[in-house]
Structure 1
Amino acid sequence: MNTSSNTKIYFASDQHLGAPTPEASFPREQKFVAWLDEVKKDAEAIFLLGDLFDFWFEYKTVVPKGFVRVLGKLAEIRDSGIPVYFFVGNHDLWMDDYFQMELNIPVYHTTKEFTFNNKTFLIGHGDGLGPGDKGYKRMKKVFTNPFSKWLFRWLHPDVGVKLAQYLSVKNKLISGDEDVKFLGEENEWLVQYAKLKLQSKHYDYFVFGHRHLPMEIQLNESSKYINLGDWIGYFTYGVFDGTTFELKKY
């Protein structure tokens, strides 16, 4: 993918719509939709790096109620011809084919490489990568197991969604959320993951979410780790203009 002189590639993550309640997150949804409305004017592509929703589960014929403004805006953007890419996070990891079927938005469950203007990117949500966090990694294996999803689907949506929303907020092992504070470069697991990847292959940018902290860390002379922050307290996003990557606040 190449950008022209007047287009950009945008990145955002961790909106957590629905948390702590739908009413409390509604202003954030409005703000995020306003951002989408603004960036569509010069977007070559838009990347959403997970946890758009604080909880998401797709039954065969049912999806969670709400979020019509952001879903409608994404549909409008895709219908206009602008590519949108979605990476599931730890809060919406049960996403299946709804985005692909209804919105024509591809959904990725693992990191993926992209090349923009000869710059190589490794992109993903970031949960479960790098050393440590073993409790969450074990829990994620259970949650992503097809049998676990099959069992959950047997719960009535009114029960299943309410239970999952409660656990998403209250249980930090299930959610995989860490304390939102900088742990030091040597203790940031995604930084260590990026450094390990660089031992076998060069990337210009590692772009992740999950940590809820806007971060730009130079890994070596030509590689940089970017964390996009969130849309709860920071309202930050990334933009690549074809030459450089920049974190901005909306």
Structure 2
Amino acid sequence: MLFISDLHLQVDRPALTEAFLRFVDERAGSARQLYLLGDLFEYWAGDDDLDDAFHTRIAAALRALADTGVDIFWIAGNRDFLVGERFAAAAGLTLLPETWVIEDHGRRIVLVHGDAQCTDDVKYMAFRAQVRQPGWQQQFLAMPLAQRKAIIAGLRDNSRKDQGEKSYEIMDVTPQAIDDVFAQTGAQVMIHGHTHRPALHGSGNRLRYVLPDWEPEASSPRGGWIAIGDDGAITRHALDGSVLA
């Protein structure tokens, strides 16, 4: 099993796109399952944007992977929560709820994107509660695509300004929210993204793995994935495939 998140794919970052396509071609094909844990795209304005050539290319790459027999699963992120059934069908993947538990080698492993656990960020949590409502989404998706993209661009500008004024602690998950997920699911392992702070937290029967964001074009390239092998071993990998401590 492979797990990735926070690629933030967009047409004006070709090096990132190529890194993702290499991962699909060279790494994911040997897996039984691939889990996309949110923010695969920088933003998603609605499934009618699948007609865009860039989005079609990404969906086609995932579909080709699925056609080889790899099961692909999707948990929405804070940037692409409007992905729906049309994209899922085109990409050959299964949409999952925002909290999902799998069992492997006698362990319960809970998967989330991670934004719902950043409960100290009160402003974001209020925004999240609004945009995750079916009524809000229905109203938003009824707007013309160009109008939706303009609104999203404004929201992204505001988000960048807000992030400059927030501490890392506020934008990180909170211990209580993490405790709640473990308690509610009975899991021994959690895998999530969102925070862009890759790490392994905990020990023994309570481990929390945080996925990296992807910036292969940076002076110090970032990115990678988490793998669970056939023997149940969980490993963290850099973009070049090397195993991290």
TM-score (norm 2): 0.83
SS of the residue 1:54 aligns to: coil
More helix by share: 2
Q: What residue number does 1:5 align with? A: none
CA distance 1:211–1:130, change in 2 (3 Å): closer
Q: 1:217 to 1:177 in 2, by over 3 A?
A: farther
Q: Separation in 2 of the partners of 1:115 and 1:158?
A: 42
TM-score by length of 1: 0.81
Counterpart of 2:196 in structure 1 is 212
2:173 partner letter? W
Give ranges in structure 1 of 5+ residues lacking alignment: 1-8
From the superposition, tell whether residues 137 and 69 of structure 1 become closer, same or farther in structure 2 (CA, over 3 Å): same
Cα distance in structure 1, aligned partners of 2:165 and 2:111: 20
Deviation readout 1:131-159 (Å, 9 max, x if unpaired)? 42222121112112233223323432123
Please give the alpha-carbon distance, in whole angstroms, between the structure 2 residues aligned to 1:72 and 1:122.
28
Distance, in Å, in 1 between the alignment partners of 2:205 and 2:151 is 45
- Going from structure 1 to structure 2, the CA distance change for 1:195 and 1:62 (only over 3 Å counts) comes to closer
Are residues 94 and 178 of structure 1, via their aligned partners in 2, closer, same or farther at CA, if it must alter by over 3 Å? Answer: farther
Q: Do 2:104 and 2:232's aligned partners in 1 also have CA atoms closer than 8 Å?
A: no
- Partner of 2:199, secondary structure, is strand
Q: Which sections of structure 2, spanning at least 5 residues, go unmatched?
A: 216-220, 240-245
C-alpha contact (below 8 Å) 2:227/2:234 kept by paired residues: yes
Secondary structure of the 1:106 match is strand
Matching residue within 71, 82, 86 for 2:59: 71
Partner of 1:13: 5
Q: How many residue pairs end up in the alignment?
A: 232
Mapped partners of 2:186, 2:68: distance in 1: 34
Q: Is the 8 A contact 1:93 1:109 kept in 2?
A: no
Aligned twin of 2:106:
118
> Do residues 159 (structure 1) and 141 (structure 2) align?
no
Equivalent in the alignment of 1:228: 211
- Tell me which moved more, 137-146 or 25-34: 137-146
**More displaced stretch, 144-153 vs 122-131:** 144-153
What fraction of aligned residue pairs are identical, expressed as a percent? 19
- Root mean square deviation of aligned Cα: 2.8
Q: 145-154 or 195-204: which moved more?
A: 195-204
